[in-house]
Amino acid sequence: MNQRGEAGEAGAPPAARPEPSGSRSGQSGHAAIFAEAGRLAGALIAYAPRKSVLALLVLLATGVTEAFGLLMILPLLHIVGFTARPGEESPVAEAVARAADVAGLELTLPAVLTVFLILAAVRSAGAWQRTVLLDRMRLGFTDRLRERLYAAVAAAKWEFLLTRRQSDIEHLLTGNVNRIGQGAFLVLQLAATTLLALAQIVLAALISPSLTAATLATGAALLFVTRSLVRRSHTLGEMLTGANRSIYGAMTDFLGGLKLAKGYNVEGRHVRHFTEKVAVMRERQLAYTRISAATRAGLDMGAAFALAALAWFALSTAALPLPELLLIALIFARLLPALFGLQQRVQSLAHVLPAHAHVRAMQRALEEAAETPAGRGGARMDLREALTVRDASFTYGAGAESIAGIGAEARLGSDAAEEPESKPHIVRPALKNVSLDVPAGKMTVLTGHSGAGKSTLADILLGLLAPGEGEVRVDGERLAGPNLHRWRRSVAYVPQDPYLFHDTIRANLRWAQPAATEAQMWRALRLAAADEFVAALPDELDTVTGDRGTRLSGGERQRIALARALMRSPALLVLDEATGQLDAENERRILTALKSLRGHTTIVAIAHRSALLEAADGIVWLESGQVAATGSWEELAAEISATGDGNGWTLAISSR
């Protein structure tokens, strides 16, 4: 999420910082997998406890009606002539007959068929309700999870977000959450299949306990043989999670660097890099498909042998009456595939659980990195005297140890290796013992070489970053806790590379001030020297700017961004090289507008060009994260040597 060029200034960690793979979580093997499955199931129930109870009741009703529907086959078989041989007793058939007598129902063909159809209708209605209810739970759970993640990202400290790669956040909110949706579906399907299988097991046990026990033992043996495939599926799921994250990173790099790639004529290199990532993901998906298909084939063959063995046992040993034999054969023909279907769902669930573990760990890391809540109310903070910084120091990466532990729990004890990943590292301070006063209603310019700490200091003045040592005060009031949110309502910021939403100019301006009138918009455009070119556009304020503002020139984007900032009537306006892409005439117009704000708005500008330096009320020269000199242009004239190159100025502190 590193959106500021100076996150690399004075040693912020690189932007591409994937999640560390971590180590064992303390649990291993199937215990860890089932523990994570339990957490996912628990989260589902916690999301919708009432719906969970209702779903359980619907599942029970479906299982019971299916069992009774199968029972109705017995009297039907007797009616059509499939009766027990002389001397053979049919306790189940007798129980059905007694139940019919109690209900006052004569077991005739029309009556039996009517009851069978009623039970089938009830079962179908229950299955329909079950499908809708479970899918509603799955979709609601997934949406709630994504909303919580969005809120956690929005509430996280800017310092924490600077250590995350934007594509990792995108992958978290899309790919991982979608896989968790699959996992939620599998958990719900497991519950449904389990209850239906239990209903059939109970019915089979009533007919022949010994045959049912033999069937369950056979199924358990086959499942035991395939238990290692569950662990392997989980390992492949971890590897797929890493591959998907890598794909998202490659796509972000591709789209972000496409213009540069075309300019260098190296598009093919971009495509090859992406193709290699896709190939890795494809191989991991195919590896899981091979395991899943092999498991299905093995279980199908095992089921066929088991059914053959059970048929031989039933005919040669169990000595069941013919109707019961036919019914139990039907039950077993449905029961064994259901049991093996459970195994396949468990295997599929193990494949997606790493996504849940990673999201859960990241959610906790985001919440631990959350800022102090804004709370209720919280009016804007005015700036009437000065914005003061005292002994402020800041180091990017301090506290990054909480980030480094994210992967430990996400891996659930697997040894599967993902792509090589580098850990956050501590670097030299971006700012060290900085003290300065920014007078209210004046324009202060921050200047210095690249990496001197200008953008870091600007972020601290905006309240985006909190100094590790020292403090910032607004008119004597400490900038910390809830005051950070109050202060941010009072500031505006124009970055060096302005971001415009893919919407109209009107919508981009109203993003800063939703209740703004058209007259207020044109005033802000005029102050930003953007009114003339917007008025010349065919759709004027309703012109769509394009993705990130690509339909406008760099200078036009910068002026729209400045106008958007001015819509907030900010107490503090921070400009990061905001005139760097403007020609001399438009720069002159903007400087005139900025000068007109004196006395009303405090301006802090990061700049190197002479026009802003000469127009400033005060200049702060930063060198290696420290204040090297302060004063007006005239006061620092003897200290600063400047040489023009036609586009800007290169400044250097003179030797003292």
pLDDT (tens digit, 9 = 90+) per residue, 554-613?
788 888 999 999 998 899 999 988 777 677 877 787 788 888 888 888 999 998 877 888
Cα-Cα end-to-end distance for the chain: 41
Instruction: Enter the tokens of residue 35.
Output: 């523990």
Residue 375: which of 264, 504, 486 has the closest Cα? 486
| C-beta of residue 590 within 8 angstroms of C-beta of residue 439 | no
Cα gap 159→368, rounded to integer Å: 13
pLDDT (tens digit, 9 = 90+) per residue, 504-531?
999 999 988 888 899 999 999 988 888 8
pLDDT (tens digit, 9 = 90+) per residue, 398-420?
544 433 344 433 433 333 334 44
Say which residues have a Cβ less than 8 Å from residue 23's Cβ, sequence separation at least 6.
407, 408, 411
Provide the pLDDT for residue 96.
63
User: 106 burial class (0-12, 13-18, 19+ CB within 10 angstroms)?
Assistant: exposed
Say which residues have a Cβ less than 8 Å from residue 341's Cβ, sequence separation at least 6.
193
- CATH class, domain 40-368, is mainly alpha
Instruction: Enter the tokens of residue 378.
Output: 């919280």
* Residue in the block written with tokens 């949706």: 181
Provide the pLDDT for residue 646.
36
pTM of the prediction?
0.68
Spans of all domains in the chain: 40-368, 431-653
Question: How many C-alpha atoms does 628 have within 13 Å on its Cβ side?
Answer: 21
pLDDT (tens digit, 9 = 90+) per residue, 29-59?
667 877 888 888 888 888 888 887 887 777 7
Cα gap 430→393, rounded to integer Å: 7
pLDDT (tens digit, 9 = 90+) per residue, 60-88?
777 677 666 666 666 655 554 555 555 45
The yes or no reply on domain 431-653 and CATH 3.40.50.1980 is no
Cα gap 471→478, rounded to integer Å: 7
Average pLDDT of the chain to the nearest whole number? 75
Provide the pLDDT for residue 391.
92
